[in-house]
Structure 1
Amino acid sequence: MDAATLDREYNARATTPDVLEILAEYRARTDAAKAVLPWSTQAYGPSEPERLDIYPAGAGPAPVLVFIHGGYWRALDAADSGSMAPAFVAAGACVVSVNYTLAPAASLDRIVEECRRALAWVHGNIARFGGDPARIHVAGSSAGGHLAAMLLAPGWQAGLGLPARPLAGATLLSGLFDLTPLPHTHINAWMALDAAAAARNSPALLPLPTGLPPGFPVVLAHGDTETSAFKRQTSEFAAALRDAGCAAEVVPPRPGSNHFDLVFDFGEPGNPLHRATRRVMGL
């Protein structure tokens, strides 16, 4: 693709005319969740952005849903990322929303490292909040889907005191799994990726499927109105996971759904995406 086509294909906001209203709804629904659920903020690192919002399980030990927000690595916050908490807590889960330092203040290497340290904190501490560290399910949307997929890669866990397989499953909502096109797009204005950084942070180019147990459950989804590039990233990564023996399921999109309102589908009881995630979490 030429540069203009790449820019169109990876411009998620351009596919959603009411994107600003949806992003505002992220915060409103998170505020509503915090108004009705017990919750707390915990630090997992020394800087202010390195924090987690935790919505404890009603009774434990319970499966843990760790959610990583999107925003093309430069926007949003854990304070925008708790809309799914009421439904999953009601179903018996402990919910954790991960915050991280945004680009351009942080490189993608640093953002990935922060998310890995966040997972290590959850594994070591979530029992205090009713969560079962042996049943951690990671999820993320858009850039958060990419970060969630990076947590599946092998080779880094021992350095943070984690078992080789600290996760029990994943849900990836319209994630980016091959970043090699991005240095040629407008996104690089804030990401500053060179070819090497794009490759080492591309889950599709890492040996992550071989680090997962046979039958490892991964739920994937994309919006109905998304560009062909986002849809292809999901379908190709799902195929690679299946080839490696994982149980990768692509949930068909709700008619009219977009890149951003997938988060609402994820937290909507009765929605196929919500049901699929609950099923693989054992809820």
Structure 2
Amino acid sequence: MTSSPETRSYGEDPAQVYDVLLPPPEAPSAAGTVVVVHGGFWRRGYDREHALPEARAFAAAGFPVALVEYRRAGMPGGGVPGTLEDVRDLLASVASQADLPKPLVLVGHSAGGHLVTWAAGQPWAVERAIAGVVSLAGVVDLGASDRLHLGSDAAREFVGTGPGTPSWTAADPMSTLPPKVPVRLVNGADDDTVPPEAADAYVSEATVAGGDVTVQVLPNTDHMAVIDPAHPAFGAVLEAVRSLMPTR
């Protein structure tokens, strides 16, 4: 049985926290920590609680886990740049914790997939001890999100502006290619919330730019299945995480 979550702060706002879950003593010893970033189209109505089963599954597989919260659109300080600053600061905090082994593998779902992929493109990614990121049905291309009106134009709500503005560019993973660390995308073929094709341009342009980027599209898998430990798709998620962790 995994440990009860211990909540730690990385800022003064109530949303600037993360829960630490440690694996059970009988689990195999991991060489790094999994950082789980939840989705919800960056909106305040979705918090980390719905990602807790996923976090517990990573802990049960032997990984120390940081399940993070962040300020979201519609909350004081949320949106761009506040949410992005939260991701930067929470990763610095997690990387500084002596009881959380390095390196870090970031796992983000939907809007969380955007945030971890954004982090992969930042100049501080390596100094935050990030070994790589796994995007699960991630919104990795804000332009595609806008054209497809994903989440009823959630990207514009999150950024506060539209394409072509400095804020949009600063928030778009497409603007910092190639990523500084490996990126593994896991998408569901039956996902009608963030369709797999929304990532096509990111994969293509990141690869051309020399990035270590791969994509796996899973059959019979919808938007939420990739974070459901009871679904067969979660096996592929675990393998993607393990592929980025150093071997002992």
Category of TM-score, reference length = shorter chain: 0.7 to 0.9
SS at 2:130 equivalent: coil
The aligned amino acid for 2:17 is R
The aligned residue for residue 14 of structure 2 is 48
Q: CA deviation at 1:265?
A: 5.3
> Structure 1 177/53 Cα, relative in aligned 2: closer, same or farther at 3 Å?
same
The aligned residue for residue 112 of structure 2 is 144
1:116 to 83, 88, 94: 88
Question: 2:230 & 2:244 partners in 1: Cα distance?
Answer: 14
The aligned residue for residue 194 of structure 1 is 162
The aligned residue for residue 236 of structure 2 is 272
User: Are the equivalent residues in 2 in contact too, given 1:50–1:99 (CA < 8 A)?
Assistant: yes
Q: CA deviation at 1:150?
A: 1.2
The aligned amino acid for 1:109 is P
SS at 2:200 equivalent: helix
The aligned amino acid for 1:205 is S
Segment of structure 1 superposing worse, 135-144 or 185-194: 185-194
SS at 2:161 equivalent: coil
The aligned residue for residue 69 of structure 2 is 99
Question: 1:149 & 1:111 partners in 2: Cα distance?
Answer: 14
The aligned residue for residue 180 of structure 1 is 143
User: Are the equivalent residues in 1 in contact too, given 2:23–2:61 (CA < 8 A)?
Assistant: no
SS at 2:40 equivalent: coil
The aligned residue for residue 173 of structure 2 is 203
Q: CA deviation at 1:200?
A: 1.9
- Whether 2:41 is the aligned partner of 1:72: answer yes
1:215-234 C-alpha deviation (Å, 9 max, x unpaired): x4322111222249731232
Question: 2:208 & 2:128 partners in 1: Cα distance?
Answer: 19
Task: Give the length in aligned residue pairs.
Answer: 234
- Whether 2:201 is the aligned partner of 1:233: answer no
> Structure 1 254/163 Cα, relative in aligned 2: closer, same or farther at 3 Å?
closer
The alignment yields a C-alpha RMSD, in angstroms, of 2.9
Question: 2:128 & 2:14 partners in 1: Cα distance?
Answer: 28
Question: 1:177 & 1:263 partners in 2: Cα distance?
Answer: 17
Question: 2:59 & 2:225 partners in 1: Cα distance?
Answer: 20
SS at 1:241 equivalent: helix
SS at 1:138 equivalent: strand
1:78-131 C-alpha deviation (Å, 9 max, x unpaired): 222121233322332111111011212222321111011110000111x22xx2
User: Are the equivalent residues in 1 in contact too, given 2:35–2:66 (CA < 8 A)?
Assistant: yes
> Structure 1 119/203 Cα, relative in aligned 2: closer, same or farther at 3 Å?
same
> Structure 1 163/67 Cα, relative in aligned 2: closer, same or farther at 3 Å?
same
Q: CA deviation at 1:239?
A: 2.8
SS at 2:143 equivalent: coil
- Whether 2:5 is the aligned partner of 1:63: answer no
User: Are the equivalent residues in 2 in contact too, given 1:154–1:207 (CA < 8 A)?
Assistant: no
Q: CA deviation at 1:37?
A: 2.8
Query: Which consecutive residues of structure 2, in runs of 5 or more, have no partner in the other structure?
Result: none
Question: 1:241 & 1:266 partners in 2: Cα distance?
Answer: 32
Segment of structure 1 superposing worse, 65-74 or 199-208: 199-208
The structure in which a higher percent of residues are helix is 1
